[in-house]
Amino acid sequence: MIRFLQSPGPLKKFILSAILLIFCGAMVITLIPGGLGASSSLLGVGTPGQGVVATVSGEDVTSREVLKQAQFMVKQQFRGQNSPMAAQLIPYFAGQAANTLITEKALVAEAKRMGLKATDEDVKDEILHGQYAPYFAPGGNFIGKEAYENMLASNDMTPQSFEQTVKDEILRRKLIALITGSAIVSDKEIHDEFEKRNTKIKFDYAILNQEDLRKGLNPTDAELKAYYDRNKASYNNAIPEKRKLEYVFLDKSKILAGIQVSDQDLQAYYNQHQDEFRVPEQVKVSHILIKTPTPGADGKVDEKGVEEARKKAADVLSQLKAGGKFDELAKKYSDDPGSAKQGGELGWIGRGRTVPEFEKAAFSLGKGQTSDLVKSSYGFHIIHVEDKQEAHVKSLDEVRAQIEPLVKQQKASKILQDQAEALQTAIKADGFDKAAAAKGLNVVSTDFVSKNDPLPGIGVSPQFMNEVFSAREKDAPELAQIPQGFAVFQVESVKPPATPTFEEIRTRVENEFKNERAQQLLEQKVQELSDRAKAEHDLKRAAKELGATVKTSELVGPESQVPDIGAMSGPASAAFDLKPGEISAPISAGASGTSGVVLEVIEKQPPAETDFASKKDQIRDSLLQNKQQELFEVFVSNLRQQMQKDGKIRTNQDELKKLTRGGNAAGL
């Protein structure tokens, strides 16, 4: 592959890891039905070995790959900034990372099965002209074989492995295009959606609240006892397991208070992490977009419409050159709804963030300059560069305040780890009291505590309690790391869970009985309210008869909020299907359906047809994207299920559990 790319150019260093993990599109593939657990029935029959989370058509998804992907996801979560919490979050992202990698490999396997190809020429074009071009071919010139290999080597990749990654990415992209290419949006669908989004209604609504009905309930002991007996299974072991323990707590904050960070410490950290302080080349831009027509169902573009857009854009450019203000013209003419209201402002953008034509023009302009017409797949742009920032590495002084607490945390963590391990060894040898006294620490002996109880010095700590409730009674003292520091503990005694008697749990039973009965009454009364209002053609009269409160809304749209109802995009959206004078069926409202509403539409205001033309393209794009997303999600779900059924996807749940429990996270 390298032989195709010979053309010397300057070397640009960058953090490649983020780019190498880019998935080929905006499709969401990590939340598909089934997930990793769907193939658990295959365990024991060809289960992947140690260090392998899954195999997909013979290709391994290794633990190392999953951890690398999880680390990248955490970096995205923290926007690339260092955080002491980052390493602790990696186990939480491991499952999602594994699911993503399995799906990616499944898509590549399916693309190959369908006969799709990704050639060396495709890879060459992607590297020279695609999303990697700003790094490997800035200005259109390949950086050279040696620089190319060095960049990849510094990120633990070879040209062969990287180019295979690119080739797989191209295959996935071709498969996605094939699957989603059949999505079509008709003019009727666009117009229906326009009316749905922009119709406004005004209505009367009658409300009944569960809490009001609950206040009138006074159950007898016999009713409560019957409820307890009927639901006894749900109270089994309702008194949780409790444990008595002994522990010594090492407080990280006390060690942190005594840590001193020298200039040499900061310089060493800075030298080791310089790549994290690199600031890419950026431009601060504004633009005016005049959209061109999108291709029709036959794939053809209306050339007359394109020419009209060009003329309109040229007229706006002429107004600019004649002294017009960019922000005012953007607000008046730009078809980009996201930036037009801000006078065309897009803010700071880096390379790889926009379409190639836009990027090339923006980065070639000087500060304060405005482009001529720039044609892209969206239409004609007029670009103004407000400011520029060259790629550079922040100095130590610039990042000192950022890295000093990290260095301090590192030093404290090392000292704390050593002290905790030494304390554990001493306790095993001499017992809690003697070992703690020798180090000036206190021993805490608890009464029986449950998982959710606070502990002296530690507070409520699910992390620590998980360790405590996983240990066995009278086992050797164990060491547990928690956010506040370390604890060395031993479980002294265990009291197993128990089922309470009715008398012990009467208050809970009464509360649950009232909640259930109030919900039943609410459903009955709201249904009766709707039936009466419809029969009498009078919502207010029916509401008065049943003690419901009646209110009147403002003129609202589908995205509006209404007091006591909430978002009109929820269950109350059914109101937009009613005609003036029609009364609704019962509508659930309030938090968790704690209220019920019946409404009567008194005014319905359709949108002005004159607004349709300006919103048509945006609605079409939105509907088309939704259809493509749905097609792709269904395809991926069916593909995963079929491959699991055929034994082409096999997961190793034991290996996955190690990752999600943080067993190997430290190896990153």
Half-sphere exposure of 646 (CA within 13 A, CB side): 11
pTM, two decimals, is: 0.55
**What is the structure's pLDDT at 663?**
46
pLDDT of residue 5 exceeding 50, the answer is: no
Q: Mean pLDDT across the stretch 257-275? A: 91
323 by Cβ neighbours in 10 Å (0-12 / 13-18 / 19+) ranks as exposed
Mean pLDDT of the chain: 87
Asked whether the CA dihedral 572, 574, 579, 585 is positive or negative, the reply is: negative
**Calpha distance 613→63 (Å, rounded):** 52
Q: Mean pLDDT across the stretch 141-148? A: 86
Q: 320-367 pLDDT, tens per residue?
A: 999 999 999 999 999 988 899 999 999 999 887 788 899 999 999 999
User: What are residue 140's phi and psi, to 5 degrees?
Assistant: 90, 0
**Calpha distance 332→325 (Å, rounded):** 11
Segments forming the whole domain that contains residue 519: 200-214+504-605
Who contacts 565 (Cβ-Cβ below 8 Å, separation ≥6)?
Answer: 205, 553, 572, 587, 589, 597
Residues 571 and 436 both lie in one domain: no
Residues 41 and 121 both lie in one domain: yes
**What is the structure's pLDDT at 28?**
35
At 567, the pLDDT band (50, 70, 90 cuts) reads very high
**Range scoring the smallest mean pLDDT among 76-85, 274-283, 468-477, 486-495:** 76-85
444, 465, 495: which is the final residue of a domain? 495
pLDDT of residue 25 exceeding 60, the answer is: no
**What is the structure's pLDDT at 660?**
81
Q: Mean pLDDT across the stretch 92-100? A: 91
Q: Which residue has the higher pLDDT, 216 or 49?
A: 216
- The single residue listed with the structure tokens 């780890």 is 417
**Range scoring the smallest mean pLDDT among 103-107, 151-155, 230-234:** 151-155
Q: Mean pLDDT across the stretch 505-524? A: 96
Contact indicator for 668, 100 with CB cutoff of 8 Å: no
At 155, the pLDDT band (50, 70, 90 cuts) reads confident
Exposure string of 521-534, with b = 16+ CB inside 10 Å and e = fewer, is bbbebbebbbebbb
Residues 79 and 143 both lie in one domain: yes
Residues 125 and 9 both lie in one domain: yes
Residues 313 and 361 both lie in one domain: yes
Q: Mean pLDDT across the stretch 28-35? A: 37
Number of Cβ within 10 Å of residue 88's Cβ equals 15
pLDDT of residue 4 exceeding 50, the answer is: no
Domain-located, residue 127: yes
**Calpha distance 395→389 (Å, rounded):** 15
Query: Can you name the residues that pair with 366 across neighbouring β-strands?
Result: none
Domain-located, residue 341: yes
Contact indicator for 51, 61 with CB cutoff of 8 Å: no
495, 530, 545: which is the final residue of a domain? 495
Domain-located, residue 56: yes
Exposure string of 402-417, with b = 16+ CB inside 10 Å and e = fewer, is ebeebbbbbbbbebbe
- The single residue listed with the structure tokens 């809304």 is 553
**What is the structure's pLDDT at 591?**
76
Residues 365 and 299 both lie in one domain: yes
**What is the structure's pLDDT at 10?**
32
Provide the 3-class DSSP secondary structure of residue 514.
Answer: helix
Domain-located, residue 620: no
Domain-located, residue 190: no
Contact indicator for 145, 139 with CB cutoff of 8 Å: no
Domain-located, residue 611: no
**Letter for the amino acid at 384?**
H
Residues 87 and 168 both lie in one domain: yes
What are the residue ranges of helices labelled H in 234-355? 252-257, 263-272, 303-321, 326-333, 337-340
Domain count, the chain: 4
Residues 480 and 426 both lie in one domain: yes
Between vectors from CA 120 to CA 351 and to CA 5, what angle results, nearest 5°?
Answer: 55
**Calpha distance 549→543 (Å, rounded):** 7
**Calpha distance 476→488 (Å, rounded):** 10
Dihedral of the alpha carbons of 453, 662, 412, 86, in degrees to the nearest 10: -100
pLDDT of residue 485 exceeding 90, the answer is: yes
342, 367, 390: which is the final residue of a domain? 390
Residues 323 and 442 both lie in one domain: no
**Range scoring the smallest mean pLDDT among 7-11, 304-308, 346-350:** 7-11
399 by Cβ neighbours in 10 Å (0-12 / 13-18 / 19+) ranks as buried
Number of Cβ within 10 Å of residue 656's Cβ equals 21
Residues 253 and 119 both lie in one domain: no
How would DSSP label each residue in 402-462?
HHHHHHHHHHHHHHHHHHHHHHHHHHHHH-HHHHHHHTT--EEE--SB-TT--BTTTBS-H
Task: Give how far Cα 227 sits from Cα of 239, 472, 505, 513, Å.
Answer: 18, 37, 12, 7
Residues 426 and 512 both lie in one domain: no
Q: How far is CA 423 from the centre of its chain?
A: 41
Name the token pair of 313.
């854009």
CATH of the domain at 645: 1.10.4030
Contact indicator for 400, 265 with CB cutoff of 8 Å: no
Domain-located, residue 222: no
**Calpha distance 606→199 (Å, rounded):** 5
Q: 391-443 pLDDT, tens per residue?
A: 889 999 999 999 999 999 899 999 999 999 999 999 999 999 999 999 999 99
Dihedral of the alpha carbons of 391, 396, 399, 401, in degrees to the nearest 10: -170
Considering only CA atoms, which of 587, 582, 620, 544 is closest in space to residue 201?
A: 582
Domain-located, residue 227: no
Contact indicator for 199, 603 with CB cutoff of 8 Å: no
pLDDT of residue 172 exceeding 80, the answer is: yes
Helix-helix angle 326-333:303-321, to 10 degrees: 150
Residues 84 and 50 both lie in one domain: yes
CATH of the domain at 416: 3.10.50
